[in-house]
Amino acid sequence: MSTPPDPAALYPDVAGLGSLATALRAEQDSRLGDTPVTASASDPLRRATVASTQPHREPLEISAWSHERRWSIRGTEPFQTLPLIDGTTDDLAEVAEAARAWHDGTPLDGIRRAAPFVHLTGRFEVPDNDPVRLTDSEWQSMRQEATELEYAWQATYQNLVEAAHAEPTLRTLYPFTSHWAVRFSTTTRPHLTVVGPCLSANSDSTYGVGRGIISQDLGQFGTADEAVAVAVRHLPSVPGPEPLGG
């Protein structure tokens, strides 16, 4: 791996102003006004945060790339610390637009309209941390993510997510995923309580059901609906609404 260039060489304008926070303000004062922008103490040329007026939004994280001139943003909610928005751009003025909208409490779709580079993760804001709404939000994000993947078996995985969401018993559970597997919890993040089998989408367009994340000991099936039906039969009980995991 090549050594990244000196940030001062890649971002000479930022270096000339002393920090990314100052550069954001200087980009166009009318965008940020008196919005508080905080420079990173450890990496002022590449990192900054912008607080929000909304208590259910963490400060927007802004970071500069190491190997090319580009910036990323990440806006999370505080209870689960999951991203509501993210995105990358080579236009610092766009970053300032997104930061101002995040700070002002602009709705998520409005932030995207203000700064088109912003990517909405599919999660929606749940200011009161209602667990049922948090679960709905996570399902929405998982379904959107499944449509955006660019892997060879994206369609197989999307079919699995949609089949699991269509099953009422599974839809009441909080979903989470890793390694092309869909799992379920009786509590929301940040502390998951895993329940039932693991569903997996395989590279040969089949679907597995197993007691563990790698195992398919409960069967391998040709359709997502078959796999979901087996998973439901192996749930220990019919769960009710999930509580907060924290």
* pLDDT tens profile 155-183: 999 999 999 999 999 999 999 997 778 99
Domain boundary among 94, 120, 146: 120
Average pLDDT over residues 42-61: 97
Q: If pLDDT is split at 50, 70 and 90, which confidence band does 64 have?
A: very high
| Cβ proximity of 24 and 13 under 8 Å | no
Do 11 and 115 lie in one domain? The reply is: yes
pLDDT for the residue 244: 79
Q: What is the DSSP letter of 28?
A: -
Confidence (pLDDT) at 198: 96
User: Is the bond leading into 190 cis (omega within 30 degrees of zero)?
Assistant: yes
Percent of the chain whose pLDDT exceeds 90: 81
Q: Are residues 225 and 163 in the same domain?
A: yes
**What's the alpha-carbon Rg for the chain, to the nearest Å?**
21
What backbone phi and psi angles, to 5 degrees, belong to 233? -65, -25
Residue where a domain terminates, one of 91, 120, 149: 120
**Residue 186 burial (CB < 10 Å; 0-12/13-18/19+)?**
buried
112 & 185 share domain: no
Residues 138 and 52 occupy one common structural domain: no
- Residue 103 lies inside a defined structural domain of this protein: yes
Mean pLDDT value of segment 21-41: 83
* Domain co-membership, 141 together with 115: no
pLDDT of the residue at 241: 54
Q: Which of 93, 120, 147 is the last residue of a domain?
A: 120
The yes-or-no verdict on residue 238 having pLDDT over 60 is: no
Name residue 205's amino acid: S
| Mean pLDDT along residues 113-124 | 97
The answer on 113 and 28 residing in a single domain is yes
Domain count, the chain: 2
- Domain boundaries, position 101: 7-120
Residues 6+ apart with CB under 8 A from 99: 24, 31, 32, 35, 37, 50, 60, 62, 73
Residues 22 and 95 in one domain: yes
The answer to the question of residue 204 being in a domain is yes
Same domain, 174 and 210: yes
Q: Considering the domain boundaries, does residue 243 fall inside one?
A: no
Give the three-class secondary structure for 161: helix
Q: What global pTM score does this model have? A: 0.92
Any domain includes 245: no
Domain assignment present for 210: yes
Query: In terms of domains, do 115 and 144 share one?
Result: no
Q: Is the pLDDT of residue 30 over 60?
A: no
Q: Is pLDDT at 29 greater than 80 in this prediction? A: no
Same domain for 86 and 155? no
pLDDT at 180 (0 to 100): 73
Rounded Cα gap, residues 205 and 116, in angstroms: 35
